[in-house]
Amino acid sequence: MFWIFGVPGAALAVLIRLTVRESMRETRVVEEDGSLWSAIQRISALPGFPAIALAVDMTAVSGYGLGVWSPSFMIRVLGLSLVDAGLYLGLIGVFGGLGDVSIRYALLSSLIFCAVGAFAFSRAKDPYAQAVNAAARSVT
């Protein structure tokens, strides 16, 4: 794969470096007072900051919500014991963390995540019927 993308990219980088001149940069004198408030104002003035902040907020809320809700879902809908649900979620967390550390483990963690999910769903008698029953119990 390197030969397809890496070598042409490196050749293009050398070609651009030899033929394109970098424009002169104007020097700016920035007077900062070094306070937290001025840093917040500068960051807030960036055009993409509100969208990025909203995306990070939504990701955090959904991630923490899923982490809190998953054990209850596995116990109520899939019929797992608390110990089994903790074991499966712990395995997902461990191998997901390994996937963060190295891209080599990302495939492994994805496969294990799928295997643990498939095993958990296979343990349930009828996950869809149990989901309906659990929803009906929560309403009444």
Per-residue model confidence as pLDDT tens digits over 69-102? 888 888 888 888 888 888 888 877 776 665 555 5
Check if the beta carbon of residue 123 is closer than 8 Å to that of residue 78. Answer: yes
Name the pLDDT band for 123 (thresholds 50, 70, 90): low
pLDDT at position 73, please? 87
pLDDT at position 60, please? 85
Among 30-39, 43-52, 109-118, the least confident range: 109-118
pLDDT at position 54, please? 92
Per-chain mean pLDDT for the chain? 76
**Over 80: is that where the pLDDT of 39 sits?**
yes
What is the DSSP annotation of the chain?
Answer: -HHHHHHHHHHHHHHHHHHPPPPPPPP--------HHHHHHHHHTSTTHHHHHHHHHHHHHHHHHHHHHHHHHHHHTT---HHHHHHHHHHHHHHHHHHHH-HHHHHHHHHHHHHHHHHHHHHSS-HHHHHHHHHHHHH-
The pTM assigned to this predicted structure is 0.41
